[in-house]
Chains A and B, each alone.
Chain A
Amino acid sequence: EDKVVQSPLSLVVHEGDTVTLNCSYEVTNFRSLLWYKQEKKAPTFLFMLTSSGIEKKSGRLSSILDKKELSSILNITATQTGDSAIYLCAVVITSGTYKYIFGTGTRLKVLA
Chain B
Amino acid sequence: SAVISQKPSRDICQRGTSLTIQCQVDSQVTMMFWYRQQPGQSLTLIATANQGSEATYESGFVIDKFPISRPNLTFSTLTVSNMSPEDSSIYLCSAPGTSGEQYFGPGTRLTVT
Q: Chain A interface (Cβ within 8 Å of chain B)? A: 31-32, 34, 40-45, 48, 88, 90, 92, 97-100, 102-105
Partner of A102 from the list B43, B48, B106, B109 (CB cut-off 8 Å) is B43
Pair A41/B42 contact, Cβ less than 8 Å? no
* Segment of B13-21, B80-88, B96-104 in the binding face: B96-104
Pair B42/A98 contact, Cβ less than 8 Å? no
Q: Which residues of the other chain, B, contact A103 by a CB distance below 8 angstroms?
A: 42
Main secondary structure of the interface of B (DSSP, over half): strand
User: Which bracket fits the contact residues of B?
Assistant: 20 to 34
Q: Which residues of the other chain, A, contact B97 by a CB distance below 8 angstroms?
A: 45
**Complex Cα–Cα for A48 and B97 (A):** 11
**Complex Cα–Cα for A44 and B101 (A):** 11
Nearest to A86 among chain B residues (CB) is: B42
